[in-house]
Structure 1
Amino acid sequence: MSKQSLAQKLEELVRNSQINEQQLDILLAGFRRLSGSGLLETALREGAQAPDFRLQDTNGNFQELNAWLEHGPVLLQFFRGDWCPFCQAQLKELTAQREQITALGTSILCVSPESPDRHRAMMEKHGIELTLLSDPGGAVANSYGIAYDLNAAESELYGELGIELTQQADSGSDFLPIPASYIVLPGGRISYSYIDPDWRKRSEPADLLGRLQALAAGGQG
């Protein structure tokens, strides 16, 4: 049997979802709201300069984007949190591709609003072997133009699902990042971005690997 792509695994998660029709309507309305909000037009894209940041990892150390860029490109992945099964699946796939990606001289940094403790628990529970960084308040996600506030219906829905975002994010604010993917080149220029308001859809790690291979071979990415 051939290996499932990430998209196939995410489609399976959608099919097996336990949310009801009313809850789904709220989520779909959220996708439409984001699409019409102008956020996607202002989010950073290819050609833009990636803002530097300094965030805490699971060992309590602070990591700076520009310091990593001194050693080569960075694959920068934003994600929603350990409670999101789509994020779990994506980070597992990135872990599976990690050796191939790092062999090309590229580092992987993953950013969410959650605390280092929650990131550490996520790594242990799901076998994730990546650098997870905490952006408690979403300042970094906001600087990339991908942070958005939840409305009252969305906040209530996440509460019904047992997801207390105000307790999980250190800032206590009801916001989430769009799970965007970026390839950032040394010097800070963004050479690739994937931004979709539908958090059930993600960049395919195999596609990212192909772009990084092209970069390593002297392509434009």
Structure 2
Amino acid sequence: MAAPQTDSSAFYGDLEEWITASDVMERTLKPGDPMPVFLARTIDGRLVSSGELVRSGPLVISFFRGAWCTFCVEELRALDAALPQFAAQSVGIIAISPETSEPARRLQSELSIPVLSDVDYAIGLLFGVIFVVPPFMRAHLEARGINLGELHGSRTWMLPIPATYVIDRNGAVAAAFVDPDFTCRTDPGDILEVIASLEA
């Protein structure tokens, strides 16, 4: 998927290096791992379980940083546009973000994909995609008027690495698209290829 243009390429390069040098990537779930059991609320307050989500077929889980992230929004819109292709194969899609505020609700109003609130980062921690925001990133976000504490309802500034997981019918991770480069996102066509291989 083509990434939107940004004037913060140096910052994203520094962030990619920081994540690569940390142990964040080592902690992420890998193909073959079981999907963690979790409960979450949709933006409109409905409670859903992981078991319910895989009951009717494979599941695609997209972790995104928030409605403030241009890359994330473009990725979600691409998945939303491909929703009929996923539905034709009985594949469910959900998006998960630590945001619990009005921006997340506005984003949900633009999407057909259900957006789940990851309160206290619980689901992201289970998948191993959460990291504590380093000081240089916090300063960068604050300079742009982005206050994660307010958006997440938490004193701790944490974010998920943008990650897309494909869960098979048995509740195991079939594919994991996780990249420390925040500007690199998963194309829906690549996900559909994984789904086709599962059906084969």
Give the TM bin, normalised by the shorter chain. Answer: over 0.9
Please show how residues 172-191 of structure 1 align to structure 2 within 5 Å: 172-191=155-174
Structure 1 residue 102 displacement after superposition: 1.3
Q: Secondary structure at the match of 1:193?
A: strand
Cα deviations across residues 124-178 of structure 1 (Å, max 9, x unaligned)?
3xx3211100002211101111100111121111000111111111223211100
- In the superposition, relative to structure 1, how do residues 208 and 108 fare at CA in structure 2: closer, same or farther (>3 Å)? same
Aligned CA RMSD, in angstroms, stands at 1.4
Equivalent position of 1:156 in the other structure = 139
Structure 1 residue 116 displacement after superposition: 6.1
Cα deviations across residues 183-218 of structure 1 (Å, max 9, x unaligned)?
1112321010011011111111111112212323x2
Equivalent position of 1:145 in the other structure = 128
Equivalent position of 2:191 in the other structure = 208
Structure 1 residue 98 displacement after superposition: 0.3
Question: Amino acid of the residue matched to residue 80 of structure 2?
Answer: T
- In the superposition, relative to structure 1, how do residues 150 and 75 fare at CA in structure 2: closer, same or farther (>3 Å)? same
Quick one: distance in 2 between partners of 1:149 and 1:49? 24
CA contact (8 A) 1:27 1:154 kept: no
Quick one: distance in 2 between partners of 1:46 and 1:28? 27
Report percent identity of matched pairs: 25
Q: Pick from 15, 30, 50: which aligns with 1:65?
A: 50
What runs of 5+ residues in structure 2 fail to find an aligned partner? none
Equivalent position of 1:96 in the other structure = 81
Question: Is 1:79 the equivalent of 2:49?
Answer: no
How many pairs does the alignment contain? 200
CA contact (8 A) 2:168 2:198 kept: no
Quick one: distance in 1 between partners of 2:196 and 2:120? 34
What runs of 5+ residues in structure 1 fail to find an aligned partner? 1-5
Question: Is 1:194 the equivalent of 2:156?
Answer: no
Cα deviations across residues 37-68 of structure 1 (Å, max 9, x unaligned)?
12212210100011011111022101111111
Bigger Rg over Cα: 1
Equivalent position of 1:44 in the other structure = 29
- In the superposition, relative to structure 1, how do residues 174 and 45 fare at CA in structure 2: closer, same or farther (>3 Å)? same
Runs of 4+ in 1 over 6 A off after TM superposition: none
Normalised TM-score (structure 2): 0.94
